[in-house]
């Protein structure tokens, strides 16, 4: 699924990474716990979260994620957006809550990724 399709499905605002909207993502992970995200297998993914701190971008970068979607109307500060821009990660914001946002993406074919066994 292209990031531009995620923008459309979630009625999201693009906060940075307009030039990345044609990039493909193959799976999604929805979590407010970055430790859970770190257990996610790297696979050109999109991260849906309500956390709006720098650690979210650092975690997404470590996991080779292509896009972060901030849910529940959360809006990150300029420091978070700047770090994502420097890291080549698209950042979106939506009013959708986590569960419906994940459900909409799943219903349109964006699968959940696997989790590494500890």
Q: The tokens of 7 are what? A: 């923008």
- Say how far apart CA 1 and CA 52 lie, in whole Å: 24
- In the chain, where the domains are located: 3-111
Strands (E), the chain: 13-16, 27-30, 45-49, 67-70, 90-93, 111-112
The 10s digit of each residue's pLDDT in 28-85 is: 999 999 988 888 767 768 999 999 999 999 999 999 899 999 999 999 999 999 999 9
pTM of the model: 0.92
Q: What CATH number labels 3-111?
A: 3.40.1390.20
Q: How would residue 118 be classed by pLDDT, with cut points 50, 70 and 90? A: very low
Mean pLDDT of 13-32: 95
Angle at 22 between CA 19 and CA 26, to 5 degrees: 125
- Residue pair 101/71 in contact (Cβ under 8 Å)? The answer is yes
pLDDT at residue 94 above 50? Answer: yes
């Amino acid at each position: 699924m292209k990031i531009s399709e995620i923008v459309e499905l979630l009625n999201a605002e693009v906060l940075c990474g307009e030039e990345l909207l044609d990039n493909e993502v193959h799976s999604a992970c929805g979590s407010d716990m970055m430790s859970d995200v770190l257990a996610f297998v790297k696979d050109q993914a999109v991260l849906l979260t309500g956390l709006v701190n720098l650690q979210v971008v650092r975690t997404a970068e470590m996991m080779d994620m292509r896009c972060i979607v901030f849910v529940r109307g959360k809006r990150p500060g300029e420091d978070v957006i700047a770090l994502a821009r420097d890291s080549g990660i698209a950042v979106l914001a939506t009013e959708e809550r986590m569960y419906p946002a994940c459900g909409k993406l799943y219903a349109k074919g964006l699968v959940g990724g696997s989790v590494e066994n500890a």
